[in-house]
Amino acid sequence: MVQALSTKFLTKFLEKHALSQEVKKTIKTWYAPIAEQIALHQNRTKQPLVIGINGCQGSGKSTLTDFLNQYLRMYFGLNVVSISLDDYYLSASEREELATHIHPLLGTRGVPGTHKIDQLDHDLAALTRKALKRPLFIRRFNKATDNPFPSDKWTKVTSAPDVIILEGWCVGLNAEPQDALKTPINALEAIEDPNGTWREYVNNQLNGTYLNVFKRVDRWIMLKAPSFDVVAQWRKEQEAKLRLQQDKLPANKIMSEQEIECFVLFFERLTRVGLVDFSQTTDITLHLNETRKIVNVTGRFKQLCFPEKLAVFTDLDGTLLDHYSYEFQPAKVSVFLCYELGFPIIPCTSKTFKEIIAIRTQLGLGTPFIVENGAAVFLPKKWLKEYLIVPVGLVEFGEFYIKEFGQPRSFWLNQLKQYANDFAHLYKGFAQMTNSELAELTGLSEKDAEKAKLRHYSEPLHWLGDACQKKAFIKRMRENGATIIEGGRFLHVCGDESKGVALNWLFNLIKHELPGNWLSVALGDSENDSTMLEQADIAVQIKSMTHPFITLERSKGVMRSTMPGPTGWHEVMMQLISELDNHHIERIKSIPNHPLKEKHYG
């Protein structure tokens, strides 16, 4: 996560809401990333960002709302205003008038039509302006007295907020078709509203000012119950909490279990509609089980936040992985953000299939990857199935399909033997090394060195001669059809395949098969990354621990990190995400080829 949640903050929050320690995991896993995404792109809007939170009674709307409020304030310095639809209930006398003139059931607060909705619409209109002309007082309702609090206890807002959170059990819901109202769905409707007057009045309200209010919401979040059947139980748990405060509440304001079961019938119709229909259109839906544990998350949130999406092609050694320790921890936050935003991280490396399999597990990647300097692209079958991509012209290989660009390794070993035998004393190839020799040379463990030796399309050489001899060797091999790529440690003997060719092929597949407006980003630190750096929409040169920045032919769209390895990777990716969020990606694509001089977002 971008911001580290402190133990003190979490403890106080759990105590305030009388929550169990199990909720701490929910907050860290789900609520904090949602807050961070809101904060990340809030600054791109020219007016406050309005978040709507929908959920049935007892689903945790108030908890989520208060967490977002506190977290965005304390960790991001944002001005947040929280509004509950419940605070806009009509007074008891106002509802009694509705009960007298329209239908007796309107005397009970809860359904659309029992709110001061015009006032809510007015307040949201004022809050979403660039500046408040005068202080605004947000209504607050006292459920213990069944009436609004006195106006001197309302929340005073003196400046335009950055984020407005509107929560309520029916916020965002659409009216039902008239035909759906004909048949009662429970005993309350059948006995108390046999002619459908009450439910028709409630339904019509959703086509009026309620709809205007809901249109002001920019992002929708839903806490989705597994079914309506759990609502009564969750409402009973809420009432149990109120009993703990019995000395502060009138005794007649605490409902018995039988009263709760009758009370939730008022909400059944629209709650069922929301569970079926609304959950299909929300930006993010948190699916709850019977114990209110989040078991799945769906929605369009990531796609809506970023019109452009990044396909991140990255070298590993010296780029995403530290040159010496092979660790990626300094880049962990930006890797997480890419995952959350739906930006695939695609290793494009000189490493072998076996090496990548282990590394992608550590990084939590399920994306395609490119091995041996562009010799082959490995596409996971699960990834192809997810995006309904038909594997035409690909080679099946276990859980993968492969697009091959290079000759087999045996071909290049034969070429070395046939055309460069007189240079044999000046290099030592991977095929000649023991696991321990390669481990000592690279700093890898012997187990990892064994994986590095299992090559399919190329042969890396450790050069032992001088620069002149190396130049003569390269000339000889090139004359006989080989391509020699100088990496951070080794010379790679291969064909004319390259990281750039493989990047182009895979990126074209992504652009045509995956939804979104895609841009390619390539990150690398050495000469064997040059072809992909030249081909990508945005080239990122990571500062090397062993050599200066390489020279690129392109003059625009080049970024350079000020730090090496994964620290530099994180530095530049956070810069890119911020620029993308602010719709300044064209500025990055056109900047001249020089190191970053702007603020670092890491």
Dihedral (CA of 144, 147, 148, 152) sign: negative
Say whether pLDDT at 248 is over 60: no
Q: Which two tokens stand for residue 173?
A: 């819901």
Q: Rounded to whole angstroms, what are the CA distances from 502 to 41, 276, 285, 446, 457?
A: 32, 44, 37, 30, 14
CA 244 to chain centre: 39
- Written as six digits, the tokens of 437 are 């020799």
Number of other CB atoms surrounding residue 307 within 10 Å: 11
* Residues 6+ away with beta carbon under 8 Å from 296: 287
pLDDT of residue 246: 52
Which of 103-117, 330-344, 411-425 is least confident?
330-344
Question: What band does 253 get if pLDDT is binned at 50, 70 and 90?
Answer: low
Residue 382 CA to residue 143 CA, distance in Å, equals 51
As to burial, measured by CB atoms within 10 angstroms (0-12 exposed, 13-18 middle, 19+ buried), residue 195 is exposed
Amino acid sitting at position 579: E
Q: Which amino acid is at 331?
A: A
CB 82 within 8 A of CB 66: yes
Q: Which residues have C-beta within 8 Å of that of residue 80, sequence separation ≥ 6?
A: 68, 69, 72, 73, 161, 162, 163, 164, 165
Q: Is the separation of the CB atoms in 48 and 217 below 8 Å?
A: no
Q: How many residues does the chain have?
A: 602
The neighbour count for residue 355, using CB atoms within 10 Å, is 25
Q: Percent of the chain at pLDDT above 70?
A: 90
Question: Could you give the CA distance from residue 367 to residue 362 in angstroms, rounded to a whole number?
Answer: 13
Domains of the chain by residue range: 44-298, 308-406+498-590, 409-494
| Interval 359-388 mean pLDDT | 92
pTM of the model: 0.55
Band of pLDDT at residue 33, cut at 50, 70 and 90: confident
What tens digit of pLDDT does each residue of 279-337 get?
888 888 999 999 888 888 887 654 444 557 899 999 999 999 998 888 999 998 889 88
Q: Of 3.30.360.10, 3.40.50.1000, 3.40.50.720, 3.30.413.10, which CATH number belongs to 308-406+498-590?
A: 3.40.50.1000
pLDDT of residue 401: 97
The pLDDT tens digits for 130-148 are 788 889 999 999 988 999 9
SS3 at position 48: coil
**Three-state DSSP class for residue 372:** helix
Residue 600 has pLDDT above 50, yes or no: no
Average pLDDT in the chain? 87
Q: Within 10 Å of residue 202's Cβ, how many Cβ atoms?
A: 25
Confidence at residue 196, expressed as pLDDT on a 0 to 100 scale: 95
SS3 of 493, please?
strand
Q: Which of 400, 384, 368 is nearest to 514 (CA)?
A: 384
CATH number of the 44-298 domain: 3.40.50.300
Highest mean pLDDT among 13-27, 202-216, 300-314: 202-216
Partners of 584 in the β-ladder:
none
Bridge-based pairing of strands 345-347 and 308-314 is: parallel
Find out if CATH 3.90.1150.10 is the number for domain 409-494. Answer: no
Model confidence over 61-89: pLDDT tens digits?
999 999 999 999 988 889 999 999 999 99
Inform me whether the pLDDT recorded for 596 exceeds 50: no
Are both 44-298 and 308-406+498-590 of the same fold? yes
Starting at the edge strand found earlier in the chain, the sheet holding 558-564 runs: 345-347, 308-314, 517-524, 538-543, 558-564
- Looking at residue 587, its pLDDT comes to 64
Structure confidence at residue 500 as a pLDDT band (50, 70, 90): very high
What is the per-residue pLDDT across 517-555, written as a single tens digit (0 to 9) for each?
Answer: 789 999 999 888 999 999 999 999 999 988 899 999 998
pLDDT of residue 131: 83
599 pLDDT higher than 70: no
Strand 517-524 and strand 308-314: the pairing is parallel
Separation between Cα atoms, residue 161 and residue 174, nearest integer Å: 27
Beta bridge partners of 404: 376
DSSP, collapsed to helix, strand or coil, labels residue 520 as strand
Residue 585 confidence (pLDDT):
63
pLDDT tens for each residue of 442-481: 888 999 899 888 889 989 999 999 999 999 999 999 999 9
User: In 223-300, where does DSSP find H-type helix?
Assistant: 231-243, 257-263, 268-276
Report the alpha-carbon distance of residue 226 to residue 222 in Å, rounded: 12
What is the C-alpha separation between 253 and 475, in angstroms, rounded? 90
Beta bridge partners of 222: 54, 285
Report which of 538, 46, 448, 54 is spatially closest to residue 267, judged by C-alpha positions.
Answer: 54
> What value, to the nearest 5°, has the Cα angle with vertex 338 and ends 335 and 344?
105
Instruction: Supply the pLDDT for residue 533.
Output: 96
Residue 576 has a pLDDT of: 87
pLDDT at position 405 is 93
CB atoms closer than 10 angstroms to residue 28: 13
